[in-house]
Structure 1
Amino acid sequence: MADEYKVIRWGYPVKTNSDECVNFIDAYFQQVLYYGADRHIILKAGEADGECVLANTLIAFFLAFKAHKDALFHLHAAQCKLGVATVYEKMVFKAVSSWVEAKEPEATLDLHSQLLKDFPKDLASLKRAQVLCFYIGRPDFSLQLVEQVLPENQDENYIYGMLSFPLLEVGRMRDAELAARKGLAIKSDDPWSQHALCHVFQHECRFNEAVHFMETCADSWNACCSFMYTHNWWHLALCYLEGHAHLSKIFDIYDSHIWAALQQNNVDSPQVYLNALGLLLHVHVRGNSTDIHDRMRDLVVCLMDQSSWHQEWLLDLLATWAFAYANAFSQADQLLKGMKGRVNEMQGKRRESMQRVLLLAEALYQYGKGDYTRAYDTLGPNFNVLEYKVIGASDEQLDVFEEVWCVILINSGHISQAIQALERRVEIRSGVPFTWRLLVRDGF
């Protein structure tokens, strides 16, 4: 009967007779695309209709990173009702199930690609697929997916931010800027378009422009989830750092927006630690170890809670450095052991590529202890930061490791190699002050 089906935001039918259930699903979609702080609203969709396949499927995805057993329960509940579900619901179920059950990433992406071919207006599924692309270092496929659905979403909120980010990740900065600006013309408070435009500014060393732009956007981040909120503040802090701002300006952002977020009970992602550690490492590598000492001490205490371990490869890498810096060697050793165990369980090319990540982790451990010679020996002479996209990190997040590499080269006495590395950085991004300071400081 017609009243047993409702239409969701994208215009696709869903098997439910509950208007409330559909309203909560649509509200969840809005939160996903906005990186909002209220994505838990999807739980209310299940309360409104516990038999709705789409509601249970989306709840399973929401819970997958928080309570995996509960996620599997909702997947099972959805599966039990697939016989009466719509085609759209069945395809979303297959795609989400593949992710939650940790199937091969490529297989999960294929399911999302097929879903988006048949239902191209489902931007939440596009976002989910792009996140997976990011975590396996496939910006090319992320771009392919958004271009695939773009003709059906020309005037939609959020689509151009989702286009801009993979464009900048494959090096098409001019196109990325145009896409971000188009997205902001449609929805000026889209934090992902803001974020993408800041990436472009940073890559092109337009730091003053970036600071002015992000300062005007900052009030709109208050409604974001803790990751997006702290991540955009992290970007702004880096722009201050490169723009000759006093360290007090950077630490004010850390204390008021990043560390403060970590102290709240509603931190919804271990990625918040990424922003805290990433910022402090940027400050540290510039020779400000004393200034970060107390903040690092407090942060390392939080990191000893192992619930944040092994959720993000980038976080594990940064935490390894932090533990070594703070002389928490037993925690560093335990973290490294866990990382090695994860890699040993992998197969084929994925395992081979992740072996390099283990070497970087060990080198960061040695760098944290100040053992630059061993750090150099661990990485070898051919370190290339671009090989580490497989950890799920943006170019801006990875760039600090190349700065660490330059410091390791200088402090381990490999001066000619340091000169070559610094000159390559100047060729690519001539406006980064830190690179020039290293060249001037050491008389290169």
Structure 2
Amino acid sequence: MADEYKVIRWGYPVKTNSDECVNFIDAYFQQVLYYGADRHIILKAGEADGECVLANTLIAFFLAFKAHKDALFHLHAAQCKLGVATVYEKMVFKAVSSWVEAKEPEATLDLHSQLLKDFPKDLASLKRAQVLPENQDENYIYGMLSFPLLEVGRMRDAELAARKGLAIKSDDPWSQHALCHVFQHECRFNEAVHFMETCADSWNACCSFMYTHNWWHLALCYLEGHAHLSKIFDIYDSHIWAALQQNNVDSPQVYLNALGLLLHVHVRGNSTDIHDRMRDLVVCLMDQSSWHQEWLLDLLATWAFAYANAFSQADQLLKGMKGRVNEMQGKRRESMQRVLLLAEALYQYGKGDYTRAYDTLGPNFNVLEYKVIGASDEQLDVFEEVWCVILINSGHISQAIQALERRVEIRSGVPFTWRLLVRDGF
């Protein structure tokens, strides 16, 4: 019967006779696009109609990090009703199932791409694959477009896309984030600070990942803009560490923002200043629920454990990483072997064993090879800074000069690169 189907905000039919269920689904989509703090509203869609395939599928996606067993329960509930679901619901179910069940990333991306080919207005899935023509007037599309443009080096196009997104919706946190990336890449740190400071109040409504990530960007801009360390630590304490102390941390990427900021501070020679903060953070990281969720997080945590003399945890984490890589096949396994070497080098760097860190990485370290872990250029750049410090402290001075000069050629406005050159009299 016609009244058994409702239409969600994208215009696609869903098998349910509950208006409330659809309204909660639409509200959830809005939260996803805004990186909002109220994404738990999807749970109310399940309460309104516990047999709705789309509701159960989206609940599974929402719960995947927080409560994996509950996520699998809702996937099973959705699967039991696939026989009466719409084609759209079935395709969303396949894509989300692949993600929740941690299947190969390529397979998951293919499923999202196929979903978008048939249902291109689904902006929630568009976060995984870009389809612009059908969505040119949507609030969030240009922020989504900007990020992949900057990741392939098209900075002018990325800036235009981000600014267009902000012209449509000035408080879109992803457009703000993308524009800050452009500013940072081009060493426009003062411009970035001014822009992000004007945006900061709008982040209070964001989920913990987006909230802490934009504060992380602002802290890095302060760090490069010669701000006093107290300003950076104020951001860490008041916005990043404070978020980790709450019970609604919704993503392992919150830990990424904490660890990434402290590593940036550490590599600049401020080890003593981060000691107490690292001690407290490492205690949180001993909860293994955050392990193996993000490759970048595992890398940073390996350094953190070594720095804090938590060697048994570091060894256990490294063992788990090696086990994951050994299960891979072909070129992916080969590329991820390099990630394991970086993890071991970060472990040695954390202990202060620069010679072994150098020997582990070898003389031809190239940070671009680590894009395979899905991190942004800005997140990976700190590893190249670590590499420069390893070169200097292990006595490979001529190689350090070459590495620093390459960095100057690419981004001449990064103060830390020049400080290394001046400090060591190169």
Provide TM-score, normalisation by structure 2: 0.98
Q: Which moved more, 1:293-302 or 1:357-366?
A: 293-302
Q: Is the 8 A contact 2:109 2:128 kept in 1?
A: no
C-alpha separation between the residues in 2 aligned to 1:287 and 1:6? 59
For residue 51 of structure 2, what is the aligned residue in structure 1?
Answer: 51
From the superposition, tell whether residues 62 and 128 of structure 1 become closer, same or farther in structure 2 (CA, over 3 Å): farther
Q: Deviations over 1:105-124 (max 9, x none)?
A: 22222221121111111001
Q: Which moved more, 1:71-80 or 1:294-303?
A: 71-80
C-alpha separation between the residues in 2 aligned to 1:84 and 1:302? 44
Structure 1 residue 221: Cα displacement:
0.4
For residue 177 of structure 1, what is the aligned residue in structure 2?
Answer: 159
Q: Which moved more, 1:342-351 or 1:60-69?
A: 60-69
For residue 84 of structure 1, what is the aligned residue in structure 2?
Answer: 84
Structure 1 residue 256: Cα displacement:
0.5
Q: Deviations over 1:174-216 (max 9, x none)?
A: 0000000000000100000000000000000000000000000
Q: Deviations over 1:319-346 (max 9, x none)?
A: 1111111111111111111111111121
From the superposition, tell whether residues 68 and 128 of structure 1 become closer, same or farther in structure 2 (CA, over 3 Å): farther
Q: Is the 8 A contact 2:54 2:78 kept in 1?
A: yes
For residue 136 of structure 1, what is the aligned residue in structure 2?
Answer: none
Q: Which moved more, 1:105-114 or 1:261-270?
A: 105-114
Structure 1 residue 288: Cα displacement:
0.8
Q: Deviations over 1:140-181 (max 9, x none)?
A: xxxxxxxx6211111101000000000000110100000000
Structure 2 residues without counterparts, runs of 5 or longer: none
Provide TM-score, normalisation by structure 1: 0.94
C-alpha separation between the residues in 1 aligned to 2:58 and 2:240? 29
For residue 170 of structure 2, what is the aligned residue in structure 1?
Answer: 188
C-alpha separation between the residues in 2 aligned to 1:267 and 1:90? 30
C-alpha separation between the residues in 1 aligned to 2:242 and 2:72? 33
CA RMSD of aligned residues (A): 1.1
Q: Which moved more, 1:65-74 or 1:50-59?
A: 65-74
For residue 105 of structure 2, what is the aligned residue in structure 1?
Answer: 105
For residue 142 of structure 1, what is the aligned residue in structure 2?
Answer: none
Q: Deviations over 1:297-332 (max 9, x none)?
A: 111111122221111111111111111111111111
C-alpha separation between the residues in 2 aligned to 1:126 and 1:51? 26
For residue 258 of structure 2, what is the aligned residue in structure 1?
Answer: 276
Q: Which moved more, 1:71-80 or 1:356-365?
A: 71-80
Structure 1 residue 69: Cα displacement:
2.4
Aligned residue for 1:14, secondary structure, equals strand
Q: Which moved more, 1:355-364 or 1:67-76?
A: 67-76
For residue 65 of structure 2, what is the aligned residue in structure 1?
Answer: 65
C-alpha separation between the residues in 1 aligned to 2:49 and 2:402? 62
Q: Which moved more, 1:64-73 or 1:358-367?
A: 64-73
C-alpha separation between the residues in 2 aligned to 1:8 and 1:174? 35
Structure 1 residue 102: Cα displacement:
2.7
Aligned residue for 1:214, secondary structure, equals helix
Structure 1 residue 76: Cα displacement:
2.0
Structure 1 residue 349: Cα displacement:
1.3
Structure 1 residue 264: Cα displacement:
1.0
Q: Which moved more, 1:112-121 or 1:228-237?
A: 112-121
C-alpha separation between the residues in 1 aligned to 2:100 and 2:261? 31
From the superposition, tell whether residues 293 and 103 of structure 1 become closer, same or farther in structure 2 (CA, over 3 Å): closer
Structure 1 residues without counterparts, runs of 5 or longer: 130-147
Number of matched residues?
426
C-alpha separation between the residues in 2 aligned to 1:390 and 1:76? 31
Q: Which moved more, 1:216-225 or 1:82-91?
A: 82-91
For residue 134 of structure 1, what is the aligned residue in structure 2?
Answer: none
Q: Percent identity?
A: 100
Q: Is the 8 A contact 2:204 2:211 kept in 1?
A: yes
For residue 382 of structure 2, what is the aligned residue in structure 1?
Answer: 400
1:355 aligns with 2:337: yes
C-alpha separation between the residues in 1 aligned to 2:158 and 2:365? 28
The counterpart of 2:276, out of the listed 294, 301, 309, is 294
Structure 1 residue 128: Cα displacement:
4.4
Q: Is the 8 A contact 2:65 2:250 kept in 1?
A: no
C-alpha separation between the residues in 1 aligned to 2:49 and 2:282? 43
Structure 1 residue 8: Cα displacement:
0.5
Structure 1 residue 383: Cα displacement:
0.2
C-alpha separation between the residues in 1 aligned to 2:174 and 2:157? 16
